[in-house]
Structure 1
């Protein structure tokens, strides 16, 4: 008897429906075709044990299974449940009337219980698009899949529950998630708050500007000056994610298998890879490419602590994703594109010893050593970072101050207001939502300068020997400063402040 059941393969953040055709005929043997990988080939042992331990069995006949489309490589253990249900239906051990109306995915344990899978949200979206009645998957993944409305999502713990459902012996209730409630939960209670940071008012101002315009920022300062502490608090002042951003972010984390018993992600991601990370770990890779840190930080913050300690070739692979806001990973037969619209926050010491050229510092470094240390970061990468700011240690008086600092919530209100202004400005432009995303044409349109501002910028360009890209960055940051002040035009005050935030372009800043 021939039976068709349906599973799904995930490539990038999109799912493709896989038709599993199970045919049982006279003879002996188990033949699995359709480019399965080793994990799928081994499934026969898991399925045989799981069925036997639950009162069913693999039929002692010739079993031929085709996973169509046959030229698309399938990987992973998530097809165990699909194959098991197909075999039971084809061997008349369960009713086969409705199995082709449901998407079925899950990894089987030997006792018949189910292990979580990757990409449940992408699969659920595809199942709804293709008109499936429902989706059976492990209970651990049910919350992320239930985000998709209009599809019955059944979280199951054991293969017996699925068998009982098709046999009509067991009623299963579909999981329903209120996405609005999930989305707004815990928005106003950040784990890290700027109220905890003593002093550093000028750096907080930089962080506010960076958050308001989505600008990349680098913090340069000695150990203990608060660089990491400030960076960790940046997500708390970013505007709340839109529903579209939340879905995009959840989809990427679902594909990477980073979501465990969580529905919609409502907090912007904060990723902080160690400096020993490889290029593939950062931008994604593998024979069937998985998202890297830069994509897992999509719509959030990627924090690179101790930037010069990263390998130079690792940092260089970030240049194109920072510019294009997406990562394309190419292989011989296909290519996969992951979104990577991030805010890059980097921190670094000004020298190998960690301190400025100060004779009183515990460890001093010569200007030549500092220059050699800084040269590990290429000019093109620094050009893609809008704001460079020096962080100085907090004086004792500020550390012992009892007056509470401004909270993240009050800073976020100003940031959100500035972002709303930008959203209105770019409403007619596709793919542009905030100032950092502007291209050269939009910069000329929205950052028009008067004569005084032009002269000021010209002087700065000549003295600091800035590149054309740095010129654009200054205009973008100035536009954000104007938006925070809710003014329509960019004036010389905004330009002057934006120029201050190009520390690494200044001659002699080392000494």
Structure 2
């Protein structure tokens, strides 16, 4: 008898339907798995055999053939243990095969038959739902992850024996008795930190204003300054003023972390990601890829912040590789004639020293670099990449008087609450104006349609375009920043003061 069981695998970050066919026929005892299985799946034979026997079932003493189709799709993951084991029981007439064809299942089995936590559950569950499969068995520990796509029809099981019992109840027309596991409030590692805010940053009003503009319009930002002036401190606090994640954004980000195996014991990503890779990271680590592509840091930062500290220390080729995904908001890898697409809608935040020693232009310390060293260091960043970062700002050293006093006497400048209010105001005004995308994500045609200016402002832009030698790309960057500032001011047209402020942050020689 042949038994069919529905399951799936992660293909990139997308779930793909896989049907496990199991046939138990006469012949010498043998266990064969075909259908492009990976080494992980091939090694599951003895684990499945022990799980079936230790769960109290009779393992077939015949020839067992398991086929997984579509055959051209590579099958990998220990979550295929449960569907293969249930397929063996179904082919041995232990379970109603008609019921088996209508449900989906996934889970790794221990030698004693208990299920254990696996990665990639949410993308597979979403795929099975799209295929019309409403009842899906998942490991008990993966239940709260699986229900992110909808709670109805998700059945948590703790063992192969429990899965078998639920299927028996379903075949008898009974409503299965499901035990919902207790929800554990575990946050993703690095996702929730102690309470931090921009109020911790003393002085630096210009960069605080620039950070608020960047958050309101989803602009990239480059901070250049001497060591110790607060670049990293500011970058870590950026996501505290970003709007809360929407339900759609939470689902998208959770699917990426689930497929990448980084979700851990948490059930969902509920706070905007903050990724800060080291400058020694390789191309595949930052952009994603590999023989079987996996998401890189730019995809793990999707809907969040990607912070590149000491930007010139990164490989120039890797940095230039950011240009296309930063504009297209996705990256595509081609492997073996197939395209794997990974989302990459992140806020790029960069920090750099002005030179190798870090003190070029510093008011208190002398730069020890030669002119050749300075030019060599600054040339590590291409002009094309710098043009794609909207906001450029030079940070100055914080004076002693700004942090030597007690907390009650500290001059905070712009408060974190005020910055958050600007961001929220810009978001509401943009939506009320009928613009669904922030200025940093708008197409050029849409931006020009929203960049209404009076004659005085238009003359200023014309003069700045010529005198500052702006290119069409940098000119559009200035308009995007001005549009964001106007949104923060709840103004339907870009006014003189909005454009004047935008020109302060224009892409230029900040080194």
Does the TM-score normalized on the shorter chain lie above 0.5?
yes
1:105-150 deviations in Å (ceiling 9; x for gaps) = 1122323333322221222222223332422122332212112225
Task: Indicate the residue corresponding to 1:375 in structure 2.
Answer: 379
How many Å apart are 1:5 and its aligned residue? 0.8
1:264-307 deviations in Å (ceiling 9; x for gaps) = 32211111111111111111112221111111111111111110
1:439-458 pair list within 5 angstroms: 439-458=443-462
Runs of 4+ in 1 over 6 A off after TM superposition: 187-190
Question: Which whole-Å CA distance do the structure 2 matches of 1:227 and 1:358 have between them?
Answer: 15
Task: Indicate the residue corresponding to 1:3 in structure 2.
Answer: 3
Task: Indicate the residue corresponding to 1:400 in structure 2.
Answer: 404
User: Quick check: 1:43–1:80 contact (8 Å CA) kept in 2?
Assistant: yes
**Per the alignment, in what secondary structure is the counterpart of residue 437 of structure 2?**
coil
Task: Indicate the residue corresponding to 2:92 in structure 1.
Answer: 91
Question: Which whole-Å CA distance do the structure 2 matches of 1:50 and 1:269 have between them?
Answer: 38
Task: Indicate the residue corresponding to 1:136 in structure 2.
Answer: 137
Task: Indicate whether 1:505 and 2:496 are aligned.
Answer: no
Q: CA RMSD in A?
A: 2.6
Unaligned runs of 5+ in 2: 171-175
Question: Which whole-Å CA distance do the structure 1 matches of 2:67 and 2:178 have between them?
Answer: 29
User: Quick check: 1:140–1:260 contact (8 Å CA) kept in 2?
Assistant: no
**Candidates 373, 391, 394, aligned match of 1:390:** 394
Task: Indicate the residue corresponding to 2:64 in structure 1.
Answer: 63
User: Quick check: 1:34–1:67 contact (8 Å CA) kept in 2?
Assistant: yes
Question: Which whole-Å CA distance do the structure 2 matches of 1:298 and 1:418 have between them?
Answer: 21
**Candidates 352, 359, 363, aligned match of 1:355:** 359
Task: Indicate the residue corresponding to 2:173 in structure 1.
Answer: none
Aligned length in residues: 498
1:161-180 pair list within 5 angstroms: 161-168=162-169, 171-173=177-179
Question: Which whole-Å CA distance do the structure 2 matches of 1:324 and 1:288 have between them?
Answer: 22
Question: Which whole-Å CA distance do the structure 2 matches of 1:450 and 1:176 have between them?
Answer: 60
TM-score if structure 2 supplies the norm length?
0.91
How many Å apart are 1:237 and its aligned residue? 0.2
TM-score if structure 1 supplies the norm length?
0.91
Unaligned runs of 5+ in 1: none
User: Quick check: 1:143–1:261 contact (8 Å CA) kept in 2?
Assistant: no
Task: Indicate the residue corresponding to 1:252 in structure 2.
Answer: 256
Question: Which whole-Å CA distance do the structure 1 matches of 2:35 and 2:79 have between them?
Answer: 15
Task: Indicate the residue corresponding to 1:12 in structure 2.
Answer: 12
Question: Which whole-Å CA distance do the structure 2 matches of 1:358 and 1:151 have between them?
Answer: 61
How many Å apart are 1:190 and its aligned residue? 7.0
How many Å apart are 1:103 and its aligned residue? 1.1
**Per the alignment, in what secondary structure is the counterpart of residue 65 of structure 2?**
strand
How many Å apart are 1:359 and its aligned residue? 8.1
**Per the alignment, in what secondary structure is the counterpart of residue 75 of structure 2?**
coil
Question: Which whole-Å CA distance do the structure 2 matches of 1:76 and 1:469 have between them?
Answer: 45
Task: Indicate whether 1:212 and 2:216 are aligned.
Answer: yes
- Cα gap change, 1:205/1:358 in structure 2, threshold over 3 Å: closer, same or farther? closer
| Structure 1 range deviating more: 355-364 or 313-322 | 355-364
